[in-house]
Amino acid sequence: MSVIKIHDKSFETYLSAETIQQRVSEIAAAINTDYKGRRPLFIAILNGSFMFASDLFKHLDIEAELCFIKLASYKGMKSSGNVVTSIGLEDDLFDKEVIIVEDIVDTGKTLHKFLPKLLHQQPQSLKIATLLHKTDATEYPLTLDYVGFTIPNKFVVGYGLDYDGLGRNLKEIYQLV
């Protein structure tokens, strides 16, 4: 096990590059089977999911489209809750078979707030693929269709995920010591 330092915090190896790659190829295989003869549109959520989306896409042997979007939350003028809006979603989702690609689902709040906006466009189907899922942190229940790893409620970095801007380039996933 190796320990690295990012900013002021120490992180130890949690998932090796090989373990991640193996699991990503298994998820892709499941999607290849489930979507055979169909043409899903993958919507990857930036920034964290870029590596997962890229590796996942390389393993697909079906026809598939991919777009990247960014979610931003802001406080509504009148509502007290955060509103989630998307930047970069140009595709018309009507009748499309959509697969959301996330790096990590923590409380579930982000997707819980965002999904109604996608469903409003009446896609034919909507599924979620997330590399990591912190099951103990769930506050907003979601149906997750493809989950890479169920992980404890500890902060992680690497493979696209950052700690205060750094660590996204790591091939492994590290956990806060």
Residues annotated as catalytic are 106
Binding ligand 5GP (rule: CB under 6 A), the pick from 29, 63, 155, 171 is 155
Question: Does position 157 bind ligand 5GP by CB under 6 A?
Answer: yes
Binding to ligand 5GP (CB under 6 A) within 59-98 occurs at none
Question: Does position 103 bind ligand 5GP by CB under 6 A?
Answer: yes
- Name all contacts of 159-162 with Cβ < 8 Å and 24+ positions apart: 159/15, 159/20, 159/51, 159/52, 159/103, 159/131, 160/47, 160/48, 160/49, 160/50, 160/51, 160/52, 160/103, 161/48, 161/103, 161/104, 162/47, 162/48
Region from 5-13, 14-22, 75-83, 100-108 binding ligand 5GP, contact rule CB under 6 A: 100-108
Question: Does position 108 bind ligand 5GP by CB under 6 A?
Answer: yes
Q: Which is nearer to ligand 5GP, 64 or 100 (CB)?
A: 100
Contact 138, 110 (CB under 8 A): no
Binding ligand 5GP (rule: CB under 6 A), the pick from 105, 118, 126, 173 is 105
Q: Which is nearer to ligand 5GP, 37 or 116 (CB)?
A: 116
The Cα–Cα gap between 85 and 113 comes to: 9
Question: Does position 129 bind ligand 5GP by CB under 6 A?
Answer: no
Contacts of 107 (CB under 8 A, 6+ apart): 137, 138, 139, 140
Question: Does position 107 bind ligand 5GP by CB under 6 A?
Answer: yes
Contact 16, 172 (CB under 8 A): yes
Q: Which is nearer to ligand 5GP, 29 or 67 (CB)?
A: 67
Task: Draw the binding track, 35-54, toward ligand 5GP (x: CB under 6 A; -: no contact).
Answer: -------------x------
Label each residue of 49-64 as H, E or C.
CHHHHHHHHHCCCCCC
Contact set with ligand 5GP (CB under 6 A): 48, 102-110, 155-157, 161-163
